[in-house]
Amino acid sequence: MSSKLPRFEQSGKYDGGIPAEIWLDRLDYDFEVADQEDPTPTLYLRSISMLLIGEASRKFRCNSRMKAIMENRAIATSDNKAEVIEWLKTQYPYTDEEIEEPDVMVEVSELAQGPTESLLLHYDRVLALLKRTGTKDQDRALTDSSALKDNDKFILKSMTSAFVRGVRDDKLRTHALGRDVLVVPCLWKAYEILCMSSSAIQAQEKIEAEIEEKRHIRRMEEYIYAQTGVPAVVALSANRSLKSLRPLFHEV
């Protein structure tokens, strides 16, 4: 099992501002996205220790039992993990007060791929936003979105459009738009089209680079012929060394 920590994009730092159960659910999701659905107690407790801030961190570290568990987290057990989770839920339970959650659709309208964020991580982030709306992406086995409710269709279409618009690479986005990426009714298909566009662009750039290299070689051959009066292959095989021809190459 991997010991690498997730990116914690959904859970983030925790200061006790929302019920612990909500935050822990988001933490579990971050582990799932990182293909670690069942992290070791050591890794899970290390994550909690890193993410707690402010009052939540102070209370946690001042509790003798929690402190002892964290000091020995390298040998922590599942019972230790469960004890820490229960302590957090007890300290920060659900209340009758209404908790103001961020408006998901506002986040969607401002969605943009980060400067160092890969296309896959951008896709995963949109899937996480979709999950928060209670809507699922269209099943890959379905050929259209007819099985979805009208509201779910609208949300999914909005998410898909935002996902494509938020792609950082203008060339990639334009290429995908040429493949009617905004017409597809689901996120996974839009991601698939973007991946195909990326592969096509890379292949085209490779071909163009090869063509340019051939042009450069041809220009060198023409220059050598103009300077020596013989084809480049003859000039190179004659009583000349590559060293003596090097200044000619630099002038091309």
Q: Pick the residue with more confidence: 249 or 191?
A: 191
Region 140-165: mean pLDDT is: 77
- Report CA Rg, the chain: 29
Q: Pick the residue with more confidence: 251 or 142?
A: 142
Residue 54 CB: number of other CB atoms within 10 A?
12
pLDDT at 239 (0 to 100): 47
pLDDT at 60 (0 to 100): 95
What is the token pair recorded at 21? 């159960």
How would residue 30 be classed by pLDDT, with cut points 50, 70 and 90? very high
Is residue 203 packed enough to be buried (19+ CB in 10 Å), middle (13-18) or exposed (0-12)? exposed
Q: Supply the DSSP string of 94-159, one letter for each residue.
A: --SSPP----HHHHHHT----TT--HHHHHHHHHHHHHHTT--PPPTT-SSSTTS-HHHHHHHHHH
Q: DSSP letter for 34, please.
A: T
| Lowest-confidence segment of 103-112, 114-123, 125-134, 160-169 by average pLDDT | 103-112
Q: Pick the residue with more confidence: 243 or 183?
A: 183
pLDDT at 15 (0 to 100): 94
Average pLDDT, the chain: 85
CA separation for the pair 141, 237 (Å, rounded): 63
Q: Pick the residue with more confidence: 60 or 246?
A: 60
pLDDT at 185 (0 to 100): 78
User: What does residue 14 show for φ and ψ, rounded to 5 degrees?
Assistant: -125, 120
Its pTM stands at: 0.48
pLDDT at 231 (0 to 100): 83
- Hunting for tokens 């402010």 — which residue is that? 54
CA separation for the pair 108, 163 (Å, rounded): 8
